[in-house]
Amino acid sequence: MGVVVDTHVFIDAENHRLHLDELRAFQEIPVYMAAVTAAELLTGVHLAEDTELRVHRLSFVENILENVPVLKFDLEVARTYSELYADALRNASRKNLNAHDLQIAATAICYAMTIPY
């Protein structure tokens, strides 16, 4: 068992709203990220408005990617995601729908993990 850390936790750490040391509360529990979280973090690198920020973000993201295992978005996760996504489309306002969050949730479900925060 472990935890799947949501993208916002890493972004909050980068923006000094959260110290990664606070994740030490999970020291006894393995920490992972969903593949879409890695993609979101890398997208932030590409969206940096200048070279200095891009270099800073790339360093930050690469450090995370070296230290936090990425869980695969495989067929099992895709099937679970499709159920969650279809249910959300049927029952929720589409403007509040976040497909990436549903991918993270599907990953956590398939790997029998929780999502802290």
Q: Tens of pLDDT along 12-50?
A: 888 777 766 666 666 778 999 999 999 999 999 999 999
Is 116 among the domain residues? Answer: no
Q: Tens of pLDDT along 47-92?
A: 999 999 999 999 999 999 999 999 999 999 999 999 999 998 888 6
Q: Which amino acid type is present at position 93?
A: S
Is 27 among the domain residues? Answer: yes
Q: Is 63 left (phi over 0), alpha (psi -120 to 50) or beta?
A: alpha
Is 115 among the domain residues? Answer: no
Residue range(s) defining the domain that contains residue 58: 3-110
Total of domains in the chain: 1
6: which residues sit within 8 A by CB, 6+ positions away?
Answer: 37, 101, 104, 115, 116, 117
The answer to whether residue 94 scores a pLDDT higher than 70 is no
Is 8 among the domain residues? Answer: yes
CATH code for position 54: 3.40.50.1010
